[in-house]
Amino acid sequence: VEPIFTATELAEVKTYHAPKYAYSMLNTILGPLVLLLMLRFVVRPLWSLSNRLGSAFETGAAARVGLQRLAAAAETLWRGPGWASALVFSLLFFELYGLVDVPVEIWFGYVHEHAHGLARMAFGTFLLDMLKGHLVFVVALGALVFGLFGLARRTPHWWWLLGVAAAMLMVVSTALDPFRNRLYVEQTSLEPGELRKRIVALLNKAGVEFRDVVIEHTASRTVRVQAYFAGTGVTRTIVLNDSLIATFSTDEILASVAHEAGHVNESRVLSRLGSSCVLLVFLWAIERLFRWSATHRWFGIQNRADVRTLPLIVLFFATGLLVGNPVSGAFSRQRELAADQYGIRLTGDAPAFRSMLRKAARVNKMDPDPPRWVVIKGISHPPIAQRIALAQ
């Protein structure tokens, strides 16, 4: 197999990835450590501050800003006072926990990407994206905390009720995927012509139902090429970015679409069943945490479903990910190789498939052979050199 990079290029690619690997290793150790320190030193003072702010809002400030009806409704749903304190506590906790990550995020997401010629976006755009992402997170966190703790305060059966609801919500969320990226980048329908005709023919051959083929305009932000399918059934959208259209030949574009079509046709029954079971066990374990924390009066907790258990839940979740990621990563890499094989069979054009992978690796500066531990820790795609060798 012809090497993807020259020696000089490979050295540059390795220089790009080295700090990412180092930080990933560091974060595995520091993440839980920071959480433990916060459990020990931050939870109690943060709660007393949140409780003061939240109570003040519930008992007076809400009425002053014209939100008394909303506050009354929230109190009914929550079955008593304390909902605002819970929201303030969870928000402040995550702001503090995420504070360390802000400079890291800016360095990796902006400085490092620019230094290696991968990013094109202006700093203002980068900050605006960060802010948008953060706002989405805050809204989701508020809904989750209010929903989870509010339901748990009402019934000890909350964990399986929420588990079933979450499984259904995941289906809805997948259907909405095509619209999520529009918060950040512009998408336009791929105009009629030779390329569109051939993509549609390929998808028909694969029996893939879809709504549209769109171009995502990312060239002003990044040099990276990208193709993905978003949504499911009638909402499924074939997304190709403008850099991919500009860099790849028609046959290479078809190869990447054929790979994605392989994901549509893979059986998801086992993975859906598996993730639903894991979710149920996780939620059940949270209910145990609720009871233990009340029995043992952790952080001054007296009743189950107290929001002060949230940092413990986060620690529990982070530990679970550390154990779960290698497993889900291994399954994911298996699916990627299967999608490669499917794609080659669909187009019957292995050379175009290999040159597509090579170009993607070169433009996106993929590490052809990442360290073994990085793979085991749970990367979603097999090393690109392996994929090219198998396509050979």
The residues that touch Zn ion, with contacts defined as CB under 5 A, are 336, 339
Nearer to Zn ion, 87 or 384 (CB): 384
Q: Supply the minimum distance, in Å, between the C-beta of residue 64 and Zn ion.
A: 53
Phi-psi region of 381 (alpha: psi -120 to 50; beta: other; left: phi over 0): beta
Specify the 3-state DSSP secondary structure of 119.
strand
Q: Supply the minimum distance, in Å, between the C-beta of residue 266 and Zn ion.
A: 10
Q: Which two tokens stand for residue 217?
A: 């305009």
Give residue for tokens 């012809």. 2
Question: How far apart are alpha carbons 165 and 325 in whole angstroms?
Answer: 24
Q: Which two tokens stand for residue 207?
A: 């029996």
Specify the 3-state DSSP secondary structure of 184.
coil
What's the sign of the alpha-carbon dihedral 318, 130, 162, 272? negative
Residue 268 · residue 12 · CB < 8 Å:
no
Instruction: Look up residue 380 and give its DSSP letter.
Output: S
Q: Supply the minimum distance, in Å, between the C-beta of residue 339 and Zn ion.
A: 5
Q: Supply the minimum distance, in Å, between the C-beta of residue 380 and Zn ion.
A: 8
For residue 140, count CB atoms less than 10 angstroms from its CB and return exposed for 0-12, middle for 13-18, buried for 19 or more: exposed
Residue 129 · residue 120 · CB < 8 Å:
no
Nearer to Zn ion, 110 or 229 (CB): 229
Nearer to Zn ion, 113 or 260 (CB): 260
Nearer to Zn ion, 228 or 317 (CB): 228
Nearer to Zn ion, 145 or 239 (CB): 239
The b/e string for 59-96 (b: 16+ C-beta within 10 A; e otherwise) is: eeebeeeeeeeebeebbeebeeebbbbbbbbbbbbbee
Q: Which two tokens stand for residue 382?
A: 């097999």
Nearer to Zn ion, 87 or 346 (CB): 346
Nearer to Zn ion, 221 or 335 (CB): 335
Q: Supply the minimum distance, in Å, between the C-beta of residue 264 and Zn ion.
A: 11
Residue 241 · residue 264 · CB < 8 Å:
no
Q: Which two tokens stand for residue 43?
A: 């939870």
Backbone angles phi and psi of 356, in degrees to 5 = -60, -50
Nearer to Zn ion, 71 or 366 (CB): 366
Nearer to Zn ion, 4 or 258 (CB): 258
Q: Supply the minimum distance, in Å, between the C-beta of residue 361 and Zn ion.
A: 14
Specify the 3-state DSSP secondary structure of 228.
strand
Residue 293 · residue 306 · CB < 8 Å:
yes
H runs (alpha helix) in 207-306: 242-247, 250-264, 269-295
Q: Supply the minimum distance, in Å, between the C-beta of residue 107 and Zn ion.
A: 28
Q: Supply the minimum distance, in Å, between the C-beta of residue 136 and Zn ion.
A: 25
Q: Supply the minimum distance, in Å, between the C-beta of residue 256 and Zn ion.
A: 9
